[in-house]
Amino acid sequence: MVFKIRHFAKLFYRLLSFLMLPLLTPEACPISPHSKTNLTIEAWRGFAAVLVMFCHYRGWWILGPSYADLASTGVDLFFVLSGFVFAPSILEGISSFRAFMVRRIFRIYPLYLLALLAYVVLGHEPFSIRAILAHLLMLQNSFSVQMAFFYNPVFWSLPPEWWFYSTLPVFILVVRVWGLWPCVLALIALRIGLGFGVEPPATAQIPLTLVNWAVINLPGIACELMIGVLVYWCHGQQALRQYRIVVTLCWIVFLGLAYIGYGQVLQATPAPVLGNLVGVIAAALYAIALWLSLVFWGQPSAWRASLAKQMGAISYGVYLFHNLIPLLIDRIAWVLPAWAMTIVCVALTGLIAYAAHRWFEAPLRAYGRQMSARYCH
């Protein structure tokens, strides 16, 4: 059985390699030159992780709906950043899809599997083979809201990210045939159209509707990823930098309108589609802010560069493990006031994320790069 699976995998990758031939770049391997760390992006990664962590800790301080709920859009910021990071692959092509996927597997899966194991062991949910298999196969978003959030609420965001990697050849082809701007605008229009059809499930256990499924997977998330690609393209257009002051003023106006609009959402009196587009609007605002930061921020000082690098390095660990600490504290029946709970959880999350990155994530990522190098020629 193992031999058959391995044989099928080899045939599958050979077929993909054949289909990718028209999209290959002349470079021997896609690892360079795009592997250089962008400290601005690393700082934004850290900020996104802090936003998501605050989103899940805010309940200790804030009761009821509030503007603090917008911290959940840190997930949308992560999507924009992913699109920016992989924009060179989409705009220029990749020389080895197999090498690309090997690196992605070692980037996403090892720490994700470690976190999944920790949540299965320490979580309050009953042991479920179905739930474990769904998460192992990145299919947790395809059953119900309960399944998507079964172990850890942030796990829902990994399937669309993974499917984005898996379908990268399709994005490369579409951008080459249609162009970047038409592709991004079409995906945004599609997402807005889907927003009109979203129906909140009566209970978390019922299966997702087709529209709801599309919104939290691809193609719904694709527009946020491609907005990140657009930011990368704009960053490469030197002529656009002369409009940075105008863009800043427009961003402030856009932010003000979004603030007013979200006030309507909090009052439960928005147009039906408005509440369903919070993530897309946030992604657009983050995208403009990202471009402005790339334009305005100069060479960082040594301490700022070190801080940005460290924030980016532990961001994935913070993202995955921050919901684990409250579960652990609850297991040992440690009752803490809100301020102490926040300090303890933030500190322990940072320590776990740092340890996981240094002794688990980073070594396996390095091994993944070495393994992918075999497929670069």
Residue among 363, 365, 220, 279 nearest 78 (CA): 279
Residue given tokens 């009821």 in the structure block: 64
Q: Position 229: which residue type? A: V
Which residues is 144 bridged to in the sheet? 207
* DSSP string computed for 178-212: H-HHHHHHHHHHHHHHHHHH----SSTTSBPPHHH
Compute the distance between CA of residue 34 and CA of residue 260 in angstroms, rounded to an integer.
Answer: 39
Alpha carbon distances (Å) from 30 to 55, 353, 354: 36, 28, 28
Count of CB atoms within 10 A of residue 114's CB? 17
Q: Three-state SS for 335?
A: coil
Count of CB atoms within 10 A of residue 71's CB? 17
Compute the distance between CA of residue 213 and CA of residue 190 in angstroms, rounded to an integer.
Answer: 14
CB 121 within 8 A of CB 101: no
pLDDT of residue 203: 65
Compute the distance between CA of residue 289 and CA of residue 296 in angstroms, rounded to an integer.
Answer: 10
pLDDT of residue 304: 86
Q: Three-state SS for 144?
A: strand
Q: Position 290: which residue type? A: L
* DSSP string computed for 218-229: TTTTHHHHHHHH
Output the pTM of the full model.
0.90
* DSSP string computed for 296-348: H--SPPHHHHHHHHHHHHHHHHHHHHTTHHHHHHHHTT----HHHHHHHHHHH
Compute the distance between CA of residue 275 and CA of residue 263 in angstroms, rounded to an integer.
Answer: 10
pLDDT of residue 63: 86
pLDDT of residue 11: 46
CB 330 within 8 A of CB 64: no
pLDDT tens series, the chain, 377 aa: 434 444 544 444 444 343 333 333 333 343 333 446 799 999 999 999 999 999 999 999 998 889 999 999 999 999 999 999 999 999 999 989 999 999 999 999 999 999 999 999 988 788 899 999 999 999 999 998 889 999 999 999 999 999 999 999 999 999 999 999 999 999 999 999 998 888 777 666 677 889 999 999 999 999 999 999 999 999 999 999 999 999 999 999 999 999 999 988 888 776 667 788 999 999 999 999 999 999 998 777 888 899 999 999 999 999 999 999 999 999 888 888 999 999 999 999 999 999 999 999 999 999 999 999 887 65
CB 364 within 8 A of CB 23: no
Which residues is 207 bridged to in the sheet? 144
pLDDT of residue 375: 76
pLDDT of residue 301: 80
Is the peptide bond between 219 and the residue preceding it cis, with omega within 30 degrees of 0? Answer: yes
Compute the distance between CA of residue 276 and CA of residue 198 in angstroms, rounded to an integer.
Answer: 7
